[in-house]
Amino acid sequence: MPEDCIFCMIRDGVIPSEKLYSDDDCFVIRDINPLAPTHLLVIPNRCFSQLSELVDEPDAMFASVFAAARKMAAQEGIAESGYRLIVNQGSDGGQEVAHFHMHILGGKSLRGLGLG
Ligand code: 5GP
> 38-66: per-residue pLDDT in tens?
999 999 999 999 999 998 766 899 999 99
Residue in 14, 27, 30, 32 to alter for ligand 1 test, most ligand atoms within 8 A of Cβ: 32
Cβ neighbours, 10 Å, residue 13: 9
Note the pLDDT tens digit of each residue in 90-105.
999 999 999 999 999 9
27 forms bridges with which residues in the sheet? Answer: 22, 43
Reported as type and span, the H/E element at residue 73 is: helix 60-76
In 3D space, the residue among 88, 76, 93 whose CA is nearest the CA of residue 36 turns out to be 76
Q: Is the CB of 31 under 6 A from ligand 1?
A: yes
Q: Ligand 1: which of 14, 31, 50 to mutate, most ligand atoms within 8 Å of CB?
A: 31
pTM (two decimals): 0.96
